Amino acid sequence: MEILFFILLIISIFVESTFINLPLVFILLVVFCILKKSGYVFLSAFLAGILLDLTAVRFPGTSSIFFLLVLLMIMLYQRKYEINSYPFILVSSFVGTYMYLIIFNKHANLLQPFLCTILALVLYSVLQIREVRSNN
């Protein structure tokens, strides 16, 4: 799971900075955080953020700060509520993507967060099925 996540993360960084205007890296991190709930996700967020900033002509550290703060909120939320669910994926990916686009792209329409939410739900389903199969 970790290796697959790492490969997807690297691909997403280059795809996002090259030709797709969707926060793929952010979506991946959110889904991975919800599925794994481990501190390992903070390391991934830090490194992915730095690499993404380098390829997208931003000051290094900008994306990392955003990723880490959102992931912290998710981790804090899971202490009281169940986050491993479709409604939580739906809300967190939609709100997070909207915030990301406002901060980094200076504007956002509703289509991009909508697309990202669908992507997050699909990714969550696939990775969850994979996780269940590997546990069995």
Partner 1 sequence: MQKRKSFFPTFLIFFILSIFIFLLSRLGFLNGLTGFLERATVPLQRVIFGATHSDKWGESAKLKDENSKLASQIVKQSELKRENQALRDQFQTSNPAPRILLPAKIIGNNDGSLTIDKGRADTLKKGDVVVIKDNLIGKVEKISEHLATVSLLTSNIIFTAKTAKTGSVGILKGQSNGMILDNVLLNDHLEKDDLVITKGDEDLYGSGFPPDLVVGKIVSVNKKASNLFQSAEVRSLIDFSKLETVFIITK
Position among 1, 4, 7, 72 found at the interface with partner 1 (CB under 8 A): 72
What minimum distance in Å lies between the beta carbon of 133 and partner 1? 26
84 lies in the binding site for partner 1 (CB under 8 A): no
Number of residues in contact with partner 1 under rule CB under 8 A? 37
The 3-class secondary structure across the chain, one letter per residue, is CHHHHHHHHHHHHHHHHHCCCCCHHHHHHHHHHHHHCCCHHHHHHHHHHHHHHHHCCCCCCHHHHHHHHHHHHHHHHCCCCCCCCHHHHHHHHHHHHHHHHHHHHCCCCCHHHHHHHHHHHHHHHHHHHHHHHHHC
Which range, of 73-81, 82-90, 113-121, 126-134, touches partner 1 by CB under 8 A? 73-81
6 binds partner 1 (CB under 8 A): no
Q: Could you tell me the smallest distance in angstroms from the CB atom of residue 135 to partner 1?
A: 20
Q: How far is the CB of 48 from partner 1 (least distance, A)?
A: 11
Contacts (CB under 8 A) with partner 1, residues 93-112:
105
